[in-house]
Amino acid sequence: MTPRIGQFRRVVLKVGSALLVDRARGRLNHAWLAALAEDIADLHAKGADVLVVSSGAIAMGRTVLGLPSGPLRLEESQAAAAVGQIALARTWSEVLAHHGITAGQILVTLSDTEERRRYLNARATTLKLLEMRAVPVVNENDTVATSEIRYGDNDRLAARVATMIGADLLVLFSDIDGLYTAPPASDPNAEHIPVVERITPAIEAMAGGAASELSRGGMRTKVEAGKIATAGGTHMVIADGRTKNPLKRIAEGGRCTWFLTPSNPATARKTWIAGALEPRGTLYVDEGAAHALRSGASLLPVGVRRIEGSFHRGDAVTIRSESRVLGRGLVAYDAEDAARIIGRPSREIEGILGYPGRTEMVHRDDMALSD
């Protein structure tokens, strides 16, 4: 049984350049974007968190600057992105404001999701926007990213962002209604695959097709995005985005391909923390804190008795009482600052450190307790 759009609490939508920009006419597809905004507003009104990963900055910028078709040099792409990002952010702000929704722009580079310190910052900012019922609009920061330090396509970027914020659904809008056994444009016998329960080598082999001039993505990158998403506990769906109200079309049973995950974001994240990261230090907690952690609380500085090791913010640390290991977590402070605030109430952090740090030493979402 395939999932239903309405069952998801946090949804990431990836919108490609070819959908947003009518290259032949040199302008935005305003009517299409307005219809998508209706879909987002409907989902938002039902209580779901919605985040958009939007391509289009370079495509919009090259139109404004009158750059010729064909490949651009790096500095031309970055100049186009600088112009296009302004137009793209304004466009999303306007179409969502029509439904009373605030948009927030987040520009990221590869290191923002790969380096744990920056990952925690990006995650905290995005989650705060969602908490405030805004819709974050994310794009790769093409004005500074180079080929060596970029995601390369917004499909994988969307998957990284989806797992970063604990989304339970990623929707990739494309110019095709899902995965086929072979490229349907060249093989009349190609069969549509409605559900992928596990991405096998055979499934990967089916992915093909070149990207358009306006985007870097193809079916291969979408399947790679599916591997990232499902490993992080996020379901993914590839759907034809060219139709009006494309999200509504999925909800009404339109043809698409679902990539299912056996996990969920919280479980997958805790598994990653528990097993994939090498601890850089240890936090020793008192019995009151140990009891609070077992009850589902975050670890506050007041409950930490002493620390060991040399660690940086975002590093994995072992959490333990004097008698046993309790689990692991991602620490919110460097070891030096952590040592200054242990045993102290969170309200005193700013006075001690000179800046308003995080209330928690380790947030419960960044913690995996032992059984």
Task: Could you list the residues known to form a binding site for substrate, using ranges.
Answer: 55, 142, 154
Residue 65 to residue 63: CA distance in whole angstroms: 5
Instruction: List CB contacts of 207: < 8 A, sequence separation 6 or more.
Output: 179, 218, 219, 220, 222, 223
Q: What number of other Cβ atoms are within 10 A of residue 173's Cβ?
A: 23
Q: What number of other Cβ atoms are within 10 A of residue 288's Cβ?
A: 10
Residue from 175, 185, 256 nearest 212 by CA? 175
The dihedral over CA atoms of 360, 363, 364, 365, expressed in degrees to the nearest 10, equals 160
Amino acid residing at 51:
L
8 A C-beta contact, residue 164 and residue 115: no
3-state secondary structure of 201: helix
Query: Which residues define the annotated binding site?
Result: 14, 55, 142, 154, 174-175
Beta-bridge partners for 317 = 329
* Phi, psi for 370 (deg, rounded to 5): -75, 155
Provide the sign of the torsion angle of the four alpha carbons 121, 127, 130, 131, taken in this order: negative
Tokens representing residue 305 in the block? 């008795």
- What is the phi-psi region of residue 327: left when phi exceeds 0, alpha when psi lies from -120 to 50, beta otherwise? left
Output the CA–CA distances (angstroms, integers) from residue 317 to 100, 166, 334, 360, in the order listed.
42, 21, 11, 14
Query: Which residues define the annotated binding site for ATP?
Result: 14, 174-175
